[in-house]
Amino acid sequence: MSWQDLLEVALLVVLLAVTVPPLGTYIAAVYGSRADGSAPGDRVFGPLERSLYRICRVDARREQRWNVYAISLLAFSLVSLLFLYAMLRLQGSLPFNPTDRDGVSPTGAFNIAVSFVTNTNWQWYSGEVAMSHFSQMVGLAVQNFVSAGVGFAVIVAIIRGITRTRHRSRTLGNFWVDMVRGTVRILLPLSFVFALVLVSQGVVQNLGGGTTASVVDAASGSTEQLVPGGPAASQIAIKQLGTNGGGFFNANSAHPFENPNGLTNILEMWAILVIPFALVVTFGILIGDRRQSRLLGAVMVMFLVVISALAIFAEGNGNPALETRGVDQSISATQSGGNMEGKELRFGTSACGLWAGATTGTSNGSVNCMHDSFTPIGGMAPMVQMMFGEISPGGIGVGLMGLLINALLAVFIAGLMVGRTPEYLGKKIQAAEMKLVTLYILAMPIALLGFAAASVVIGSAATFQPGPHGLSEVLYNFASATNNNGSAFAYQGTGTQWYTVTQGLAMLVGRFFLIIPALGIAGALAGKPTVPSTNGTLPTHTPLFGVLIGGVVLVVTGLTFFPALALGPILEHLSL
Amino acid sequence: MRTFIRQLAPAALAIVAFTLLLGVVYPLVTTGIAQVAFGDQADGSLVERGGKVVGSELVGQPFSSPEYFHPRPSAAGAGYDGSASSGSNLGPLNSDFLASIDERVAAYRAENGLDDLVDVPVDAVTASGSGLDPHISVANAELQARRVAGARGIEVSTVLELVEANIDGRDLGMLGEPGVNVLLLNLALDDLVVAG
């Protein structure tokens, strides 16, 4: 790591530190932090929102109990899924198809539809080979927006569950309003500006199928090269801001037309992280206690820093297997060195390790280098961060949700130790809530390990690389699906019927089997009175509590996944 | 169940409305502004020579003749296929991967007249993430300069000066890593001949 690389990390920290607080404050205003309910930009967005409510026949003033809120969310996701599935199946007959793509297979389309509706953006296909411009622009990009909008709705509903006290009707707000406001007031304006910034740096944004160039060295084997086209920038902007991560092109953010230079690289990393961190600030404002958000934010940052550092150093040190093969992997004035297989020269290993941390700490999953070619430890770092449950800082809404669930588990364990009924933010945490917490905590590991084990046992369904690396691939890819991440150890062919179906189911579990218990907990909390804090109350804004949450996450993840990791990346590292 | 069915209507209407707003209006407005304000970039930063498009300055392309600088190995299709971006995705200990490294190291040394004691820059023997990497490292370019100069019958120092002139530095002095844009460097070499 050179001093310039350190400066790059520092600049990312500064960019986030400057933008996160105002954005968090803005989001809080969008979700009603002001006494009169007004928000900046009402004059612009108000009419648009009201016409959307009119079109959808939604009564914006009508509040929903947690179960109706969850049902609205499920109905919206189901309709989205069917709509996208139909579009992908029919894309060969739909308009705006300059690259002449055919319809997608039934299980393939199921997988893609689930993937984009659940904010995962797992891609078994290659964007430029399988998708028409119509499907990308009118299908996938729309889900990039609204699946993130659903994430906003989830977290504000949970916050209302905490702040509403003995609420007679136990309502959590209106799903349609929360989803629409997040999409229209936060994601749309940010994406619009960001897309134009990306174009100015070289990201393509046109409606053509590309330009055929006559290459300079005709003796090189090919005389022509397709310079691809399409509405890429508008999709890439929301793909990063919405913690989606699905690339317009197969190579994702390693592609020069998705991420052309060092400047776009840092801006895209900023875009991946800014909203999930801003939501932590929003949380503090809405519950009226910013100390809580500082502590939660610190826990997130700690995990993110450790994992990113691990990936940066592992990749920067290069691949030990190349040392005896006459390859120079050292850092010098004329090369950046390190493990360069699967990495772009303009980014080098440091910006790749940092990105790997950011993309798996959130549920983004876009990649600027190929994780499958990482060194064993470099590849384990992002894998483990997904296994934490993506809480550092996590996907829009669902990341903070995950950390709050872990906080409930932490107060519960602390309560057991001293023999008191646990409380969190003034609400008693009792048997009903803890049952839902348990469901939440178990869903992801069961789906991850269950599907991974089944895939390994049913060997015929599996194509992966020899040795422990093959198991790493299966583990990584199910960790990605169940955590709605979307990044991949991409050597493994996951376009088969077995994988499109099992990964699709894994993504559904990872989305809805977590969101629904969490909304259930919020509904239960909304009906409870606030208990005044006493000397015996465990304060939840202190470093001690931060250690407790971090410990809970580490212990749960370690106990669950260590045996599998030992047979995958750890064994591979030891066989170097 | 009845609640669920009642929510299907707003769900369907919301999808239609959002598809119009976010899937049609947003990308088309963005395209319109992008085409007016940043037309060249929006169309792929194309490079022309003699009225012909010869490539994009952001996308690497294949070169194998000795008088040109060679790009990194590529896993995009048969190599630098603009319609099939991809990395190799081979694991760090994969025997196929290690075998291809040995081959590339030997080929690189033979091509450039280097003896077995010279370590080959890592970027010269590894495939990039996209398979379309436009850059090589400065170290890689400097080792190729003698071959290129010899094939063209020009001074090595002239070639090295061109390498120097075509280095893309770090953005803002700290973002990313410096490298040499292979297409632009090779075009500069060709222009040199025309001018000379």
Which of A67, A326, A336 shows the shortest C-beta gap to B119?
A: A326
- B84 near B76, Cβ under 8 Å? yes
**Where does the pLDDT of residue B1 fall: very low under 50, low under 70, confident under 90, or very high at 90 and above?**
confident
Tell if the CB–CB gap between B86 and A251 is shorter than 8 Å: yes
What is the rounded average pLDDT of the residues B125-151? 98
Q: Within an 8 Å CB–CB cutoff, is residue A78 touching chain B?
A: yes
Percent residues over pLDDT 70 in chain B: 98
Among the partner residues A55, A213, A321, nearest to B98 by beta-carbon distance = A321
Segment (H or E) for A30: helix A3-30
Report whether pLDDT(A493) > 90. Answer: no
pLDDT, tens only, B70-113: 999 999 999 999 999 999 999 999 999 999 999 999 999 999 99
Residue A461 confidence (pLDDT) above 60: no
Choose the closest CB to B31 out of A75, A206, A325. A206
Within-domain flag for A416: yes
For residue A473, being part of any structural domain is answered with: yes
CB pair distance less than 8 Å for B176 and A351: yes
Within a domain: residue A77? no
Could A192 and B177 be called an inter-chain contact, meaning their C-beta atoms sit closer than 8 Å? Answer: no
B129 to A55: CB separation less than 8 angstroms, yes or no: no
Taking only the tens place, the pLDDT of each residue in A53-71 is: 999 999 999 999 999 999 9
List of chain A residues whose C-beta atoms are within 8 Å of the C-beta of residue B126: 340-343
What pLDDT is recorded for position A217?
A: 95
Name residue, tokens 């404050």.
Answer: A25
- How far does the CA of residue B2 sit from the closest CA of chain A (Å)? 10
Please indicate whether, in this complex, the C-beta atoms of A229 and B95 are within 8 angstroms of each other: no
Which chain A residue lies closest to B189 (C-alpha atoms)? A216
Reference A347, options B42, B135, B7, B90; nearest CA is B135
Q: Each residue of A126-137: b (16+ CB within 10 Å) or e?
A: bbbebbbbbbbb
Task: Quote the mean pLDDT of chain B.
Answer: 96
Produce one character per residue of A37-61: b if its CB has 16 or more CB atoms within 10 Å, e if not: eebeeeeebeeebeebbeebebeee
User: Would you say residue A90 lies in a domain?
Assistant: no
Q: For residue A358, is it within any domain?
A: no
Q: Say if the Cβ atoms of A55 and B92 lie within 8 Å.
A: no
Which tens digit of pLDDT belongs to each residue from A425-458?
Answer: 999 999 999 999 999 999 999 999 999 999 988 8
Residues sharing a CB contact under 8 Å with residue A513, sequence separation 6 or more, in sequence order: A439, A440, A443, A444, A447
Res A42: pLDDT: 93
Query: What's the CA gap between A410 and A544, in Å, rounded?
Result: 11
Chain B contact for A363 (CB, 8 A cutoff): no
**Eight-state DSSP code of residue A490:** T
Q: Residues of A numbered 300-329 whose beta carbons fall under 8 angstroms of chain B's beta carbons: which are they?
A: 318-319, 321-322, 325-329
Q: Does A80 touch chain B (CB under 8 A)?
A: yes
- Say yes or no: B30 and B54 in one domain: no
Minimum-distance CB partner of B13 among A57, A188, A251: A57
Contacts A–B by Cβ distance under 8 A: 420
Residue A458, pLDDT score: 85
Domain co-membership, B90 together with B23: no
At residue A460, the pLDDT reads 58
Contacts of A572 in chain B (CB under 8 A): 91-93
Asked if A355 and A307 count as a contact pair (C-beta separation under 8 A), the reply is no
Pick from B128, B139, B171: which is nearest to A335 by CB?
B139
How many residues are recorded in chain B?
196
What was the pLDDT predicted at A167? 64
Number of domains in chain A: 1
The β-bridge relationship of strands A224-227 and B52-56 is unpaired
**Confidence at A388, pLDDT banded by 50, 70, 90:** very high
Question: Which tokens hold the place of A252?
Answer: 């994702």
pLDDT per position as a tens digit, A320-371: 999 999 999 999 999 999 999 999 999 999 999 999 999 999 999 999 999 9
Contacts of A214 in chain B (CB under 8 A): 52-54
Residue B98 with chain A: CB contacts under 8 Å:
321-322, 325
* ipTM score assigned to the predicted complex: 0.96
Q: Tell me whether residues B132 and A256 touch, CB distance under 8 A.
A: yes
Which of B46, B90, B188, B176 lies closest to A257, judged by CA?
B46
CA A103 centroid distance within chain: 28
* A439 and A517 Cβ atoms separated by less than 8 Å: yes
Closest chain B residue by Cα to residue A189? B26
What mean pLDDT do residues A530-540 have?
A: 89
My answer on whether B130 and B149 are in the same domain is yes
Residue A82 to residue A78: CA distance in whole angstroms: 6
What range defines the domain where residue B12 resides?
Answer: 2-40
Cβ atoms of residues A308 and A345 within 8 Å:
no
Q: Give me the DSSP letters along A281-350.
A: HHHHHHHT-HHHHHHHHHHHHHHHHHHHHHHHHHHHT--GGGGGGTEE---BTTB--S--TTB-TTTHHH
Q: Which residues of A touch B45 (CB under 8 A)?
A: 202, 260
φ, ψ dihedrals at B36, nearest 5°: -75, -45
Which structural domain, as residue segments, surrounds residue A408?
404-574
pLDDT at position A494 = 87
Mutate to test the interface with B, among A341, A574, A576 (most CBs of B within 10 A): A341
Provide mean pLDDT across the span A157-175.
89
Q: Does A265 touch chain B (CB under 8 A)?
A: yes
Q: B69 and B145, same structural domain? A: yes
Structure tokens at A512: 């809805």
Among B46, B123, B142, the residue to mutate for chain A (most A Cβ within 10 A) = B123
Q: Please name every residue paired with A424 in a beta bridge, in sequence order, or none if there are none.
A: A427
For residue A311, being part of any structural domain is answered with no
Q: What are phi and psi of B167, to 5 degrees?
A: -75, 125
For residue A328, list its beta bridge partners: B121
Closest among B183, B120, B191 to B154, alpha carbons compared: B191
The rounded mean pLDDT for chain A is 95
Element (H, E) at A117: helix A106-117
Mean pLDDT of A181-192: 98
pLDDT in tens, A304-323: 999 999 999 999 999 999 99
Asked whether residue A468 carries a pLDDT value surpassing 60, the answer given is: yes
Task: Please judge whether A231 and B27 are an interchain contact, meaning their C-beta atoms are less than 8 angstroms apart.
Answer: yes
- Give a yes or no: residue A423 inside a domain: yes
Q: Are B19 and A84 in contact (CB under 8 A)?
A: no
Q: In what order do the strands lie in the sheet with B135-136?
A: B135-136, B179-181, B167-168
Smallest Cα distance from B53 to chain A, Å: 5
Each residue's pLDDT tens digit, A58-110: 999 999 999 999 999 999 999 999 999 999 999 999 999 999 999 999 999 99
Based on the fold, state whether residues B90 and B109 are members of the same structural domain.
yes
Query: Measured between CB atoms, does A128 come within 8 Å of chain B?
Result: yes
**Residue found under tokens 């003033």:** A61
SS3 category, A205 = strand
Give the pLDDT band of residue B68 (cuts 50, 70, 90). very high
Measured between alpha carbons, how far is A68 from A153 in angstroms, rounded to an integer? 13
Which residues from chain A sit within 8 angstroms of residue B136, using beta carbons?
Answer: 345
Choose from A179, A227, A355, A487 for mutation: most chain B CBs within 10 A. Answer: A227
The full 3-state SS of A223-288, as one line of letters, equals CEEEECCCEHHHHHHHHHHCCCCCCCCCCHHHCCCCCCCHHHHHHHHHHHHHHHHHHHHHHHHHHC
Do B63 and B32 lie in one domain? The reply is no
The radius of gyration of chain A from alpha carbons, rounded to an integer in Å, stands at 23
Q: Say how many CA atoms lie within 13 Å of A186 toward its Cβ.
A: 34
Kindly identify which residue of chain A lies nearest to residue B7, measuring between CA atoms: A72
CB neighbours of A265 closer than 8 A, spacing ≥ 6?
A253, A259, A346, A347, A351, A355, A368, B175, B176
Separation in Å, CA A66 to CA A63, A439, A462: 10, 17, 41
User: What pLDDT shows up at residue A418?
Assistant: 87
Rounded CA separation A284/A116 (Å): 30
Report how many domains make up chain B. 2
Chain-chain contact of A222 with B95 (C-beta, under 8 angstroms)? no
Decide if A173 touches B, using CB distance below 8 A.
Answer: no
Mean of the pLDDT values across residues A132-137? 96
Give the per-residue SS3 of A49-75. HHHHHHHHCCCCCCCEEHHHHHHHHHH
Any domain includes A43 = no
- Find out whether A81 and B19 touch, Cβ atoms under 8 Å: no
**For A216, which of B29, B54, B120 is closest by C-beta distance?**
B54
Residues of A in contact with B105 (CB under 8 A): 325-327
CA distances (Å), origin A105, targets A88, A90, A250, A380, A485: 9, 10, 18, 33, 23
Mean pLDDT of A386-393: 97
Report the residue of A3, A78, A80, A346 to disrupt the B interface, i.e. the one with the largest count of B CBs within 10 Å.
Answer: A346
Give the residue among B165, B175, B27, B141 at the shortest CA–CA distance from A236: B27
Among A143, A90, A137, A146, smallest CA distance to A121 is for: A143
| Gap between the terminal Cα atoms of chain A | 22
* Residues from chain B contacting residue A101 (CB–CB below 8 Å): none
| pLDDT tens-place string over residues A22-37 | 999 999 999 998 988 8
Q: Which residue of A has its CA nearest to B81?
A: A225
